[in-house]
Amino acid sequence: MTLLEVIATTVADARAAQRGGANRLELVTAMGEGGLTPSIGLIEAVTEAVDIPVNVIVRPHSRSFVYDADDYAVMLRDVRAIAKTRANAIVVGMLTANGDIDTDGLARVIDAADGLPLTFHRAFDDTRDLHAAFDTLLQFDAVTNVLTSGGKPSVLEAEKTIAKLVERAKDSHCTVLAGAGLTVDAVAPFVASTRARAVHFGSGVRVDGNGLAPGMKRESGACGRRSTRWAEAGAYAPIHGSLRKHHPATVFRCPSPSLSPSNPSSRSYACP
């Protein structure tokens, strides 16, 4: 089964993605910087506006994935605040100076997340050994997704690496979330080749690769009109159609985190 995750940056963006058929959102700000932590107000507004799961990035700046004590203080405050919202998961990534997973920092974030699952973002692609790093992440039950381009600028240049990671993740609690450089035309053969269970789109599903589209551009002119029409018409239908052509009935909707009837604040890690 193949899940379609799409980056959202505003409430209108999130609504457009849901209308278009996205199964899950990654909510960020500053998409041009690779995504930074959104405000609590935006998180609350987006989770109220859509029915699909919303994963929220926690990234204090774009300077590095190596964080100091002050960075972690900010990140942990953000994680604790996000855990009190309707967010589905936290998206994070942290490395040591020598290019390994910062396991101590990751453990602190998991503790602060209070049961929310985690996606480890593309900081993973900056590790010195992808396969060793993946094995490290598999030791953390809370890490249910790893977003990766296989260490390349485009995931389409790393199909063999992605296939190996997907095989390594088989029968584990963790899903390889393949992203960066995917296009509507390329996604189906990519999934067929790698057997990826989840794909991630940002600029690849936006008008002319514009981070402000769909649904955000409201200026007059053909470009603005095209952006609005594209969002309203079902932006991701070509992706779903392409995937179904290769793998019938494989696109699915990820449920919200399962809640324990006895403890409504508790969340399982069942959702990929």
Fold of 3-255: TIM Barrel (3.20.20)
256 versus 185: the higher-pLDDT residue is: 185
Q: What is the predicted pLDDT for the residue at 238?
A: 55
Tell whether the model's pLDDT for residue 103 goes beyond 50: yes
Cβ-Cβ contacts under 8 Å for 43 (sequence gap 6 or more): 27, 54, 56, 82, 85, 87
Tell whether the model's pLDDT for residue 221 goes beyond 60: no
Domain ranges of the chain: 3-255
Tell whether the model's pLDDT for residue 169 goes beyond 90: yes
Cβ-Cβ contacts under 8 Å for 66 (sequence gap 6 or more): 94, 95, 96, 97, 102
Q: What is the predicted pLDDT for the residue at 75?
A: 98
For residue 20, the one-letter residue type is G
Q: 65-69, 186-190, 206-210: which has the minimum mean pLDDT?
A: 206-210
Give 202's pLDDT tier (boundaries 50, 70, 90): confident
Tell whether the model's pLDDT for residue 30 goes beyond 60: yes
Q: What is the predicted pLDDT for the residue at 270?
A: 38
Torsion of CA 151, 36, 63, 77, to 10 degrees: -110
Average pLDDT over residues 216-225: 36
Backbone phi, psi, residue 118, to 5°: -125, 145
Q: What is the predicted pLDDT for the residue at 207?
A: 57
Give 183's pLDDT tier (boundaries 50, 70, 90): confident
Tell whether the model's pLDDT for residue 52 goes beyond 50: yes
Average pLDDT over residues 42-69: 97
For β-strands 143-148 and 118-120, DSSP reports them as parallel
Distance CA 143, CA 124 (A): 12
Tell whether the model's pLDDT for residue 234 goes beyond 70: no
Backbone phi, psi, residue 142, to 5°: -70, -20
Taking a C-beta distance cutoff of 8 angstroms, is the pair 136, 160 a contact?
no
Q: 97-101, 244-248, 251-255: which has the minimum mean pLDDT?
A: 251-255
Average pLDDT over residues 38-55: 98
